[in-house]
Structure 1
Amino acid sequence: MLLRRPGPALPRTARIAVLLPLRDEAGRVEPCLRALLALDGAPDLIVLDDGSTDGTAELVRRIGGDRIRLLDGRPLPGGWLGKPHACQQLADAAGDADVLVFVDADVVLVPDAVERAAALLRRSGVDLLTPYPRIDAVTAGERLVQPLLQWSWLTFLPLRAMERSPRASLAAAGGQFLVVRREAYVRAGGHAAVRDKVLEDVELARAMKRGGGRIALADGSRLARCRMYTSWRELADGYSKSLWASFGSPAGAAAVVGLLLALYVALPLTVLSGQWLGLAAYALGVTGRVVSARATGGRAFPDALAHPVSVLLFAWLVARSYARRGRTTWKGRPTWLP
């Protein structure tokens, strides 16, 4: 597996800016803000309010006072999706910061998270690092679907090969907690290079590789936690807006989903007709889920036992995402540009 893990912080040698884009997040951003204010090392804290209508900006001012620099987002120009535009504005506002740390509103950092993540960036010699947060899953739908994120890249992605390979197609990243060397970010074109991409985090990692940079994933479960969605409707809509972009084409999506269904649903079902290979296939899926859960701070049992159901739900979400592509909005904005 060779999963990188953060070690202790190192003496500060770089200026760090923590960047938080917000749009209508008043209902859930407070824990994130309070965690940012408690960070060790006093990094620059910059928040961008991207046209919120629910009092998000007022909440930031009340909680952050003069310790958080609050920006008013500019109107969204043509050819841009909302999050890349917000992140580019934040990066521009960070001035001469050496390390940019992008976080999402649903992420709660521990006090030494940024210092330790920056130390891992420095030790590993990469230019873009994703210390993947521990995913908090509460409802049944979350517990069935959310663990597939870590399971998929721990099971199928050769992590160290991804770090060494210059191929842009071999890339993964997570925008919830993203640590970037500013020099490499600028060389790659920043978020302007991925202005029309709904999976701007993965596309930024690919742009980094095209610019000669290196990327890495790490276990960030001891540094951050994240509850991405709080209901099945929110989860289904969230995945539907972007899951289609995870695959190169509908044919590629069909091939991947078909393989997953064959391995983790169809083959295990053969145990009902006395085919013990099916039991082995089921055990393989469950074991993979247990290993990934224990490696990333997730819940292993009984959730892993429902792995075939999780794969079925994933297949449905992929189909739904393709069916809704071009018709989905997120917080009042389109999620796809033709």
Structure 2
Amino acid sequence: MTITLSIFGLLLSAFPLVMWVANLPRFLRDRRPEKPDSADAAISVLIPARDEADGIEHCVRHALASHTVELEVIVLDDDSSDATADIVSTIAEADSRVRLIHGKPLPDRWNGKQHACKQLADAARYDRLVFLDADVRLRPAGLAELSRLLEERSLGLISAFPEQVTVTWLEKWLIPMMHFILLSYLPFSRMQSMSDPSLAAGCGQLFLADRKAYLEAGTHAAIRSSRHDGIKLPRAFREAGLMTDVTDGTDLASCRMYDCGSQVIRGVLKNAIEGIANPKLIGLFTVLLLGCSLLPVVTLAMAVGQSDRIATGLSVIALALAHGPRLLATMKLRQSFFGVVCHIPATILFVGLQWVALGYHLTGRTVTWRGRT
């Protein structure tokens, strides 16, 4: 029994590492010069902002510093209770490329971010639309590089995963799980060659879309009630027969999603039901994630207790393999080594939060975010 479980744990631990080795070259890009040779794109940078006074100026100014693109930056103030609108107005007075618009009242059955993005797209002048979270800091070559990829790969939508800035221990534990899930269980070879909606993936922090494709996909109205635009927006494009892709954005932008541990927990819970924490997926992912992290620990304890050398060896190998993806993320994606060391408890906590989110959903509870449910 112990050897059987040890083999099972070894297989479950090896699978994510094999997928990472296969997926990573497709996720990474050939590095281009920081400053491309010529301007070839006109881009509307669209930023929904609700109570973003602490960071909105940095977001806008980083976008304005983009190299070799013609751009406008439009910020939608979504009924902020702080100085967000005043800050953007001050920038707009000094730079004609910046516009501030005020959001309309939120209709029933619309998520606030999706409603804001739809209004921003309607106001945009250019045919390439960048949907940018207010906590993202673009790097100078970021927009030009994303525009190049959109054109070269004949895409309707591309999403970049910015460098994730993590400070607290919970950030270092849980934020890297987005890369772990993406690269461990999504077959990039199929995702990049087929428009199957089930292969949709993305990061809601940074999207670049072609306007024509965006309209064909139904705009953000197609996902009006969703909080999980990272998956739902690419899926809408794919349902319209359009291709989408994801890319490493470590050198294109940076983002610190949450400021403290409690925000991390609420951030994981708020849209988990639209991802892993739904009844169709949660059982499978519980087996996959705990099988490649907790199970080798359990089988190692059993094997040592039974003095079973074969099972002990298999469990040790499984544990080493289990940490491989997080180690690769540290080397290639600038993630914290602390996350590698704590991969097992981080995975257990992540799975536990998925079950909490499912429990919330089944009992009708919702997680409030920026004053809205």
Q: TM-score range with shorter-chain normalisation? A: over 0.9
Q: Does 2:240 align with 1:211? A: yes
Under a length normalisation based on structure 1, what TM-score does the superposition of the two structures give?
Answer: 0.93
Matching residue of 1:89:
119
- 4+ aligned runs moved over 4 Å, structure 1: none
Q: Distance in 2 between matches of 1:77 and 1:22?
A: 17
Asked if the contact 1:126–1:215 (Cα under 8 Å) also holds between the matched residues in 2, the reply is yes
| CA contact 1:151–1:293 (8 Å) conserved in 2 | no
- Compared CA separation, residues 213 and 251, structure 1 to 2 (3 A): closer
Contact 1:264 1:308 in 2 (8 A): yes
Distance apart, 1:4 and its partner CA: 4.0
1:7 aligns with 2:32: yes
Cα displacement string for residues 273-321 of structure 1 (whole angstroms, at most 9, x for unaligned residues):
322222122111211111123222223x242121111101101211222
Give yes or no for the alignment of 1:53 onto 2:55. no
CA distance in 1, matches of 2:204, 2:320: 32
CA deviation digits over 1:251-278, x for unaligned, max 9?
4212212321122112233223322222
How far the C-alpha of 1:237 sits from its partner, in A, is 0.7
Q: Hey, what does 2:50 align to over in structure 1?
A: 23
2: CA distance, partners of 1:164 / 1:104? 28
Identity %: 35
In 2, Cα distance between equivalents of 1:158 and 1:115:
27
Taking the aligned partners of 2:285 and 2:111, their CA distance within structure 1 comes to: 27
5 Å-filtered alignment, 1:140-159, equals 140-159=169-188
1:160 to partner: Cα distance? 2.7
SS in 2 for 1:21: strand
Structure 2: stretches of 5+ with no match in the other structure: 1-22, 305-311
For residue 197 of structure 2, the aligned residue among 162, 168, 184 is 168
Distance 1:254 1:148, change over 3 A: same
Mapping for residues 1-338 of structure 1, pairs under 5 Å:
1=23, 2-5=26-29, 7-8=32-33, 9=36, 11-40=38-67, 41-65=69-93, 66-95=96-125, 97-247=126-276, 249-273=278-302, 274=304, 275-299=312-336, 301-325=337-361, 326-334=365-373
Per the alignment, in what secondary structure is the counterpart of residue 27 of structure 2?
Answer: coil
CA displacement at 1:18 relative to structure 2: 0.6
CA distance in 1, matches of 2:55, 2:355: 29
Q: Which has the larger radius of gyration?
A: 2
Identify the range of structure 1 (161-170 vs 139-148) with the bigger mean alpha-carbon deviation.
161-170
CA distance in 2, matches of 1:268, 1:253: 22
Secondary structure, in 3 states, of the residue corresponding to 1:255? helix
